[in-house]
Amino acid sequence: MEITREESQEDVEFIKEQLQESVKLLNLPEATYDILSTSECEVRTRLTVRMDDGHTEVFPAYRIVWNSARGPAKGGLRFHPDETPEMIQKLAALMSWKTAVMDLPLGGAKGGVRCDVKNLSNPEKERLCRQYVKEFFDILGPRLDVPAPDVYVDSQMIGWMLDEYELKKGAKEPGVITGKPLALGGSVGRFEATARGGVYVLRAAAKRMEEPLEGKTAAIQGYGNAGANFHRLAEEILGLNVVAVSDSSGGIYSSKGLDYEAVSSCKEETGTVVEFGNADKITNEELIELDVDVLVPAALGDVIHKDNAEAVRADLVLELANGPTTREADDILNDNGVFVLPDMLANAGGVTVSYFEQVQNASNYYWQKERVLKLLDRKMCSALERVMDMSDEYDVDSRTAAYLVAVKKVSKAMKLRGWI
């Protein structure tokens, strides 16, 4: 999926519109919008990397801090061939709202490199990761800005970045980056945290709405870490019947349901779910339009847009991906009575356990998995209640309510600091 500059800029404008509406509803000073609608710090540069055959490649690279009023900036790092600074801006802003919705003492940031890691060898990826840290070293730190893995960045790449930072720092700083391997100070539960957080918030929402989930159908668009783990946990915890899944090559559908173990084994062996034999082949577009109870976009952004939103037949959309619904589609879904659990709430399990990882790094004491999962469940449920209560109080949709929760918390921190 290609991310165009125009589409990314539209998303940034969507965020600004939501902010403006939130500031107005909350009756906040105009300066609140002026600050929250612009980034706090942007660094754009290029990484020069020596390739295995001896020639040098140049990769555009970015790191954007949107707001740090509530604490050190926090946000993922994406390596994607179609990365744009506008997309990084959008995601940095969303991270600022996400940490506030979850009531974490953190701000929001995002980083990216325009590259195709699928075409890089491991030594080339390592040199690219280390060069990123060298270029952005001065603005990173456990009390400044803490990256984490995002699209096409895995725990091994995080390990290389941690090592490079500590080499330049001349000291051990495990809290400078999260999503680390356990052997380097990572947290148990981090790998599945995004999916598990989505399961917890879906369960809490269903309980509040008095809608049992046992036996209900679900379709998952995207079968990477978040999508695959959601499949497993939705079966185990919620009793959902996952009838369709997809990846970048296409999708599969079975009205009887898809067994997680069988599908994940196929994905591991062949590299795609499409090779799964006991199901019908469908496209990613067809999956979005399936008649299911729960639709879970868990890949890249903008997969629900103005041209397919009318065809969405799910009762509920759980946004495990960042920005999977465009501005026009959001209005259509709301008009059609589709309940959306927005990304800044639904996929916040990852940043929440990343925060737990930072706390453990700072104390040099590491928790058992039971404690991590219990705290994550509590955080997701509390955030859901805040959003739903705000929705009831102001009679707004869930995404607007999440913005209201976030803007209220961030603006309070800015006021206490004397920014407004």
The CATH number that applies at residue 56 is 3.40.50.10860
* In a shared domain, residues 159 and 211: no
* In a shared domain, residues 164 and 276: no
Q: Is the pLDDT of residue 14 over 80?
A: no
Tokens at residue 59, please?
């990769």
Predicted confidence (pLDDT) per residue in 30-52, tens digit: 999 999 999 999 999 999 999 99
Distances (CA, A) of 151 to 107, 113, 231, 317, 327: 20, 10, 19, 21, 22
CA 30 to chain centre: 29
Range of the domain at 216: 193-341
Mark which of 341, 362, 390 sits at the end of a domain.
Answer: 341
Instruction: Confirm whether 298 is domain-assigned.
Output: yes
Mark which of 312, 341, 370 sits at the end of a domain.
Answer: 341
Predicted confidence (pLDDT) per residue in 269-308, tens digit: 999 999 998 899 999 999 999 999 999 999 888 899 999 9
Nearest 5°: phi and psi at 146?
Answer: -120, 105
Q: Is the pLDDT of residue 4 over 80?
A: no
Instruction: Confirm whether 168 is domain-assigned.
Output: yes
Cβ contact 305:331 at 8 Å: no
Concatenate the DSSP letters of all residues of 227-282 into one string.
Answer: HHHHHHHIIIII--EEEEEEETTEEEE-TT---HHHHHHHHHHHSSGGG-SSSEEE
Cβ contact 122:89 at 8 Å: no
Nearest 5°: phi and psi at 184?
Answer: -110, 15
Cβ contact 263:273 at 8 Å: yes
In this structure, the number of other CB atoms found within 10 A of the CB of residue 365 comes to 8
Mark which of 318, 341, 364 sits at the end of a domain.
Answer: 341
What is the mean pLDDT of the segment spanning 243-248? 96
Residue 263 has a pLDDT of 97
* In a shared domain, residues 152 and 215: no
* In a shared domain, residues 270 and 324: yes
Predicted confidence (pLDDT) per residue in 218-229, tens digit: 999 999 999 999
SS3 376: helix
Residue 278 has a pLDDT of 87
**What CA–CA distance (Å, rounded) separates 376 from 397?**
24
Instruction: Confirm whether 306 is domain-assigned.
Output: yes
Cβ contact 149:157 at 8 Å: yes
**What CA–CA distance (Å, rounded) separates 144 from 107?**
10
Predicted confidence (pLDDT) per residue in 130-141, tens digit: 999 999 999 999
CA 203 to chain centre: 19
* In a shared domain, residues 127 and 166: yes
In this structure, the number of other CB atoms found within 10 A of the CB of residue 412 comes to 15
Return the H-helix or E-strand segment holding 354.
helix 349-363
**What CA–CA distance (Å, rounded) separates 158 from 136?**
14
* In a shared domain, residues 149 and 205: no
Residue 57 has a pLDDT of 97
Strands 294-297 and 217-221: parallel
* In a shared domain, residues 85 and 147: yes
Question: What's 271's domain CATH number?
Answer: 3.40.50.720
pTM of the model: 0.93
Tokens at residue 290, please?
């399936």
* In a shared domain, residues 84 and 216: no
Residue closest to 244 by CA, chosen among 252, 236, 235: 252
User: Cβ contacts of residue 88 below 8 Å, gap of 6+?
Assistant: 62, 63, 64, 78, 110, 111, 112
Instruction: Confirm whether 395 is domain-assigned.
Output: no
Active site residues: 110
Predicted confidence (pLDDT) per residue in 140-185, tens digit: 999 999 999 988 999 999 999 999 999 999 999 999 999 999 999 9
The total number of structural domains in the chain stands at: 2
Residue 1 has a pLDDT of 39
Cβ contact 330:324 at 8 Å: no
In 335-398 the beta strands, taken as DSSP E runs, fall at 339-341
Instruction: Confirm whether 186 is domain-assigned.
Output: no
Residue 12 has a pLDDT of 74
Predicted confidence (pLDDT) per residue in 95-107, tens digit: 999 999 999 999 9
* In a shared domain, residues 241 and 318: yes
* In a shared domain, residues 44 and 152: yes
Predicted confidence (pLDDT) per residue in 65-80, tens digit: 999 999 999 999 999 9
Average pLDDT, the chain: 95
3-state helix, strand, coil in the chain (%, to 5): 50, 20, 30
- Measure the N-to-C terminal CA separation of the chain; round to a whole number of Å: 40
Residue 41 has a pLDDT of 96
SS3 50: strand
* In a shared domain, residues 266 and 296: yes
What is the mean pLDDT of the segment spanning 214-238? 96
* In a shared domain, residues 147 and 225: no
Instruction: Confirm whether 371 is domain-assigned.
Output: no
Instruction: Confirm whether 403 is domain-assigned.
Output: no
Predicted confidence (pLDDT) per residue in 332-353, tens digit: 999 999 999 999 999 999 999 9
Cβ contact 401:387 at 8 Å: yes
Instruction: Confirm whether 183 is domain-assigned.
Output: no
Going by pLDDT thresholds of 50, 70 and 90, the confidence category of residue 9 is: low
**What CA–CA distance (Å, rounded) separates 114 from 217?**
37
